[in-house]
């Protein structure tokens, strides 16, 4: 069974961290309504959704993906490159403790879960403003005994690795090649985003279904032409906080 840990949108969302976007007002009620729909779609796909309460003092805390990397054998709790986000980890660690052995990234390492893409036994980590080489080295130490190989991947022009690419099928990545080099991902096939939709590379794969944003119709057409079943969910309001579909849940097998 798949479990999704989510968190309600903080009333302080308008004080979120921003790196690559200009600040514009976020409508709290719209963000909450869209996020509830996201949770409903997850549930409709057979995922057990466990929604944590909002954190009034942690503006970015709805983006739970950044707090942990969950594998079949263990979970690694992160240490964000944004200092304001580090307190988000405590409650997520408590939520994950019944399911996984826990490891913790320590200083000087910094890591956001949005920078981590796991494909089989390969763990790709974006070297970004939020994640660094010491964290990659710690992650390799934690995971080596389980047979994982950790690879650092330079990211430019966007916040996280998963802003630049995500997995949409067993051997297929959806990618914006302007933000990440494809030579790191040998053996994979690629669907490139339409050049007019640079933020279109983030998709959330649940089994044989991909949850996707309606804001990117040209790239959606490319996915469907590749035989990928797409379910649309609008999380555009949280996009103003540099959030995306993968950011809003931690999904793992129980």
CA distance 135 to 162: 17
**Can you give the C-alpha Rg of the chain in angstroms?**
17
- Of 74, 158, 247, 248, the active-site residue reads 247
Residue 189's beta-bridge partner residues?
A: 172
Instruction: Look up 16 and say whether it is catalytic.
Output: no
∠ Cα 161 136 103 (to 5°) = 105
- Of 16, 158, 160, 248, the active-site residue reads 160
| DSSP H or E segment with residue 38 | helix 28-44
∠ Cα 122 42 71 (to 5°) = 25
What are φ and ψ of residue 126, in 5° steps?
-70, 125
CB atoms within 10 A of CB 97: 11
Instruction: Look up 160 and say whether it is catalytic.
Output: yes
Tokens of 2: 């798949």
Do residues 175 and 152 make contact, with C-beta atoms less than 8 angstroms apart?
no
Closest-CA residue to 64 (of 8, 14, 3): 8
Four-residue CA torsion sign, 176, 177, 181, 183: positive
CA distance 15 to 62: 13
Q: Which residues are catalytic?
A: 160, 247
């Amino acid at each position: 069974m798949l479990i999704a840990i989510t968190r309600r949108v903080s009333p302080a969302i308008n004080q979120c961290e921003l790196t690559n976007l200009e600040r514009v007002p976020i409508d709290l009620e719209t963000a909450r309504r869209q996020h509830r729909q996201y949770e409903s779609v997850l549930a409709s796909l057979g995922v057990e959704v466990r929604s944590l309460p909002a954190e009034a003092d942690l503006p970015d805390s709805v983006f739970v993906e950044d707090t942990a990397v969950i594998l079949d054998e263990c979970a690694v709790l992160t240490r964000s490159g944004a200092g304001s986000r580090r307190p988000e980890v405590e409650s997520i660690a408590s939520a994950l403790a019944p399911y996984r052995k826990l490891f913790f990234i320590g200083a000087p390492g910094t890591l956001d879960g949005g920078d981590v893409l796991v494909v089989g036994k390969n763990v790709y980590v974006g070297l970004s403003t939020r994640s660094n080489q010491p964290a990659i080295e710690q992650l390799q130490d934690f995971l080596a005994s389980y047979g994982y190989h950790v690879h650092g991947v330079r990211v430019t022009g966007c916040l996280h690795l998963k802003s630049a690419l995500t997995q949409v099928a067993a051997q297929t990545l959806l990618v914006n090649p302007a933000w990440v080099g494809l030579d790191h991902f040998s053996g994979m096939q690629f669907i490139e985003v339409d050049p007019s939709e640079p933020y279109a590379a983030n998709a959330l794969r649940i089994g044989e279904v991909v949850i996707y944003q309606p804001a990117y119709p040209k790239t959606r057409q490319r996915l469907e032409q590749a035989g990928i079943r797409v379910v649309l969910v609008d999380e555009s309001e949280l996009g103003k906080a540099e959030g995306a579909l993968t950011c809003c849940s931690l999904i793992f097998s129980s």
